[in-house]
Amino acid sequence: MQLFENIVGNEHIKESLQNAVLSGSVSHSYLFVGKAGIGKKLFARDLAKKVMCLGEDDCESCTKFDSNSNPDFSIIVPDGKSIKIEQIRNMQSRIVEKPIISSKKVYIIDDADLMSEESQNCLLKTLEEPPEYAMIILIASNENRMLQTIKSRCVIIRFENLTDDEIGKILKTDDKDVIRLCEGSVAKADTIQEKKEVFTQLKNIANLLEKDSLIDVLNNSELLYSSKDDIMTILDFLNIIFYEKTKENLKFSKAITLIETVKKKIIANNNYDMCIDYLLIHIWEELNGKSCRR
């Protein structure tokens, strides 16, 4: 199988890493940076599998990698809200041991920007003097949270958001509203796939707000009232719908302003149902040029 062939997007990075593998110039440490959900971990896993491969038919390293049982491969993820120094020290104690069944040992540190400063400083020694058979791949969404001393010891690969065409290919849709919601992220694309029905219902609510009576709007907006746990995502969806409508008529921009106001109210722990009432009533009034307030 060709390296990265099942991954969509960032073609220039594919070419660069493929050339590094073919020329034997793969670095011992990489920092993959870019928006969450654009495929950084997929790239890291494919690269890890390739450099660990023994180049044999029925390679044991590859077989165990595919079954998530390769002893020479590990992914470190946050313990709670951060990657703690104990996790880095545990990695350091194991990385000095030679590979068991593979040509290299590979450690992926996911959400590396959640390492504490103490953890990053602890990692420095390993990045400065890595075993010749080891590779470390750091994955981060916020490069600014990484110490300069860490960044200077890694080859930094900056990933770009996926294009609308690439997102459409993943979702198998040409619905521009849905594609816009993804904001170039595979993770968001997966979420959108799961919530297509929700998005359709929100389009219906948006149309009601513009054309129907306020009573009909309130009676047909149960989705908003019953989605407290997921309301921020739903309000983001609604924002995109009104953004598209704004291209046809600027009056819809007032709805976007109101949505952002309601987000702040919800974050401030205002009564949830009253926040939704406020949202629907005020958007309806703005779009219909009416007022039900005294």
Count other C-beta atoms under 10 Å from residue 88's C-beta: 24
Rounded to an integer, what distance in angstroms lies between the CA atom of residue 217 and that of residue 255?
A: 15
Give the domain range for residue 259: 195-288
**Where does the pLDDT of residue 291 fall: very low under 50, low under 70, confident under 90, or very high at 90 and above?**
low
- 213 and 258 belong to one structural domain: yes
pLDDT of 224 strictly over 80: yes
- 37 and 84 belong to one structural domain: yes
Least confident interval from 51-55, 129-133, 189-193, 241-245 = 189-193
pLDDT tens digits along 274-285: 999 999 999 999
What CATH number is given to the structural domain containing 134?
A: 3.40.50.300
pLDDT of 161 strictly over 90: no
| Better-scored residue on pLDDT, 177 or 232 | 232
Q: What pLDDT is recorded for position 292? A: 55
Q: What pLDDT is recorded for position 294? A: 40
- 205 and 155 belong to one structural domain: no
* Residue entry with tokens 């170039």: 184
Task: Report how far apart, in Å, the C-alpha atoms of 17 and of each of 10, 48, 58, 150 are.
Answer: 11, 11, 24, 20
Least confident interval from 146-150, 166-170, 267-271 = 166-170
User: 28: number of CA atoms within 13 Å, CB side?
Assistant: 13
The residue among 151, 179, 177 whose CA lies nearest residue 165 is: 179
Phi and psi based region of residue 291 (left: phi greater than 0; alpha: psi -120 to 50; beta: remaining): beta
Question: Average pLDDT of the chain?
Answer: 89
In a domain, 133, yes or no: yes
- 150 and 204 belong to one structural domain: no
pLDDT of 113 strictly over 90: yes
- 156 and 31 belong to one structural domain: yes
Q: Tell me the mean pLDDT in the region 21-32.
A: 93
CB contact at 8 A, 167 and 35: no
**H or E segment and range at residue 106:** strand 105-109
The total number of structural domains in the chain stands at 2
Count other C-beta atoms under 10 Å from residue 269's C-beta: 8
Tokens standing for residue 278: 């406020």
Dihedral pair phi/psi, residue 181, rounded to 5° = -60, -30
**Domain edge (last residue) among 160, 184, 210:** 160
pLDDT of 158 strictly over 70: yes
Percent of the chain with pLDDT over 70: 96
- 135 and 267 belong to one structural domain: no
In a domain, 293, yes or no: no
Q: Tell me the mean pLDDT in the region 61-72.
A: 94
In a domain, 186, yes or no: no
In a domain, 185, yes or no: no
Query: Which residue intervals of 26-151 are DSSP H helices?
Result: 40-52, 60-66, 85-95, 117-128, 148-151
- 116 and 216 belong to one structural domain: no
Tokens standing for residue 28: 């011992």
In a domain, 2, yes or no: no
**Where does the pLDDT of residue 124 fall: very low under 50, low under 70, confident under 90, or very high at 90 and above?**
very high
CB contact at 8 A, 39 and 165: no
Q: What sign has the CA pseudo-torsion 42, 44, 45, 46?
A: positive
In a domain, 180, yes or no: no
**Where does the pLDDT of residue 195 fall: very low under 50, low under 70, confident under 90, or very high at 90 and above?**
confident
pLDDT of 126 strictly over 80: yes
In a domain, 174, yes or no: no
Rounded to an integer, what distance in angstroms lies between the CA atom of residue 55 and that of residue 105?
A: 15
- 153 and 203 belong to one structural domain: no
In a domain, 294, yes or no: no
**DSSP one-letter string for 107-135:** EEETTGGGB-HHHHHHHHHHHHS--TTEE
Count other C-beta atoms under 10 Å from residue 76's C-beta: 19
- 23 and 79 belong to one structural domain: yes
- 73 and 153 belong to one structural domain: yes
Q: Tell me the mean pLDDT in the region 151-165.
A: 91
- 97 and 212 belong to one structural domain: no
| Better-scored residue on pLDDT, 100 or 197 | 100
pLDDT tens digits along 251-270: 899 999 999 999 999 999 99
- 136 and 29 belong to one structural domain: yes
Q: What pLDDT is recorded for position 81? A: 87
**Domain edge (last residue) among 160, 184, 207:** 160
**Domain edge (last residue) among 160, 186, 220:** 160
